[in-house]
């Protein structure tokens, strides 16, 4: 990573900095933004982190999490923060639209007036952004933020920043098991532990905090898993009545999609959910090997993400979404079946 001196100048001069990430934020989005906030504040900057919507419960213990401004409940404050910012950082997303309608419209208005910096690992970044540090070969945005902090001279990391970055890497690598996890990932993790990240405590804070409702919902979801055996695919569909029965909260379906991929000879899976208070069906897609769910989602569900993990949407009923998924799977049957050969 090379940071242009023009950006270093802008960073040095900036007084107010706004950081934002994608809708339905995960550990990588929140951890990356909070870590950058931690180090920038140490340099005397006024920093605000803006979230499109709620921070899931399993991340609320993160230092600084409770100061995050929610654009869905404080939209005017969020707009003002962006309008007043000297620099805007886009973390863990490649396009304005990933931040939701409201923020995307504000950012669209500001693109000619404000310097914007993207730190991300999703495919196809918006080329209009002034400074782009995008690397889809990286397992997490947090790794890119780590490097940015080093190269921009924003270190050394304190315990909070180390904890925030550790959380981003931990969650986006599936606890260091996804195939983009590299030696460099582990070298960064080693450095974060040496700077105070308490690995056992962080794992426990994130993974040992299930509610009874969440486990019951998982059980229900697993019972509903369907297999399209001939094509090596599986899926789980969850209707809103079921989610409501278990007192649905944001983040509650996190991780469920991965069970569909844990089966032998299954190379593509989807979690198809009808969320309460949404007029669309959401798909979360995972694959193994060569089968590219970024392209698959773009082709059928107007979404994208990464080669082996992507999201998408369907406008219609849950049943229609399931049918559309099954049809799309059949069209790519051989590719899916042979994805790991
Ligand atoms: Mn990420």
- Tens of pLDDT, residue by residue over 150-160, are 999 999 999 99
Check if 5-207 and 212-337 are the same fold.
no
What value does the mean pLDDT take over residues 129-142? 97
Report CA(305)–ligand 1 centroid distance (Å).
9
Report CA(140)–ligand 1 centroid distance (Å).
5
Residue 14 pLDDT grade (very low, low, confident, very high; cuts 50, 70, 90)? very high
What value does the mean pLDDT take over residues 2-7? 97
- Tens of pLDDT, residue by residue over 73-93, are 999 999 999 999 999 999 999
Domains of the chain, residue spans = 5-207, 212-337
Report CA(118)–ligand 1 centroid distance (Å).
13
Report CA(293)–ligand 1 centroid distance (Å).
15
Tell me the DSSP string of 167-216: HHHHHHTTTTTSTT--HHHHHHHHHHHHTT--HHHHHHHHHS---HHHHH
Report CA(312)–ligand 1 centroid distance (Å).
16
- Tens of pLDDT, residue by residue over 185-216, are 999 999 999 999 999 999 999 999 889 999 99
Among 92, 87, 88, residue whose Cα is nearest residue 31:
92
Report CA(290)–ligand 1 centroid distance (Å).
20
Report CA(190)–ligand 1 centroid distance (Å).
20
What's the pLDDT score for residue 125?
A: 97
- Tens of pLDDT, residue by residue over 140-189, are 999 999 999 999 999 999 999 999 999 999 999 999 998 899 999 999 99
Which pTM value belongs to this model?
A: 0.86
b/e sequence 279-302, b meaning 16+ C-beta within 10 Å: eebbbbbbbbeebbbbebbbebbe
How long a stretch of residues is the chain? 341
Q: Does domain 5-207 have CATH number 3.90.1640.10?
A: yes
- Tens of pLDDT, residue by residue over 239-260, are 999 999 999 988 889 889 999 9
Which option is the CATH number for 212-337: 3.40.50.970, 3.10.310.30, 1.20.1070.10, 3.80.10.10? Answer: 3.10.310.30
Strand pairing partners for 47?
17
Neighbours of ion ligand 1 (CB under 5 A): 28, 92, 141, 172
Report CA(184)–ligand 1 centroid distance (Å).
17
In the chain, DSSP finds a helix count (H) and a strand count (E) of 14, 12
**DSSP letter at 56?**
P
Report CA(245)–ligand 1 centroid distance (Å).
30
Report CA(133)–ligand 1 centroid distance (Å).
13
Report CA(229)–ligand 1 centroid distance (Å).
30
Report CA(216)–ligand 1 centroid distance (Å).
27
């Amino acid at each position: 990573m090379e940071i242009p001196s023009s950006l270093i100048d802008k960073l040095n001069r900036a007084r107010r900095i706004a950081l934002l990430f994608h809708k339905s934020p995960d550990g990588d989005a929140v951890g990356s933004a909070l870590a950058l906030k931690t180090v920038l504040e140490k340099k005397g900057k006024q920093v605000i982190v803006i979230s499109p919507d709620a921070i899931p419960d399993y991340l609320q213990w993160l230092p600084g999490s409770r100061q995050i401004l929610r654009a869905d409940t404080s939209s005017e404050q969020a707009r003002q923060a962006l309008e007043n910012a000297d620099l805007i950082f886009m973390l863990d997303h490649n396009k304005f639209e990933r931040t939701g309608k409201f923020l995307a419209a504000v950012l669209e208005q500001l693109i000619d007036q404000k310097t914007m910096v993207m730190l991300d690992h999703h495919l196809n970044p918006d080329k209009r952004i002034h400074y782009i540090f995008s690397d889809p070969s990286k397992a997490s945005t947090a790794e890119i933020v780590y490097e940015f902090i080093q190269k921009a001279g924003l270190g050394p990391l304190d315990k909070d920043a180390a904890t925030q970055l550790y959380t981003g890497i931990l969650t986006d690598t599936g606890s260091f098991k996804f195939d983009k996890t590299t030696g460099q990932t582990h070298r960064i993790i080693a450095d974060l532990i040496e700077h105070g990240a308490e690995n056992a405590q962080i794992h426990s804070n994130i993974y040992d905090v299930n509610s009874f409702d969440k486990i019951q919902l998982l059980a229900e979801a697993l019972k509903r898993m369907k297999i399209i055996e001939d094509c090596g695919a599986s899926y789980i569909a969850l209707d809103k009545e079921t989610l409501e029965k278990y007192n649905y909260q944001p983040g509650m379906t996190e991780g469920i999609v991965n069970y569909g991929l844990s089966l032998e000879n299954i190379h593509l899976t989807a979690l198809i959910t009808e969320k309460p208070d949404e007029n669309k069906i959401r798909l979360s897609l995972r694959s193994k090997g060569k089968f590219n769910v970024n392209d698959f989602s773009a082709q059928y569900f107007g979404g994208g993400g990464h080669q082996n993990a992507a999201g998408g949407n369907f406008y219609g009923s849950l049943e229609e979404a399931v049918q559309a998924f099954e049809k799309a799977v059949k069209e790519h049957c051989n590719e899916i079946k042979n994805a790991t050969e």
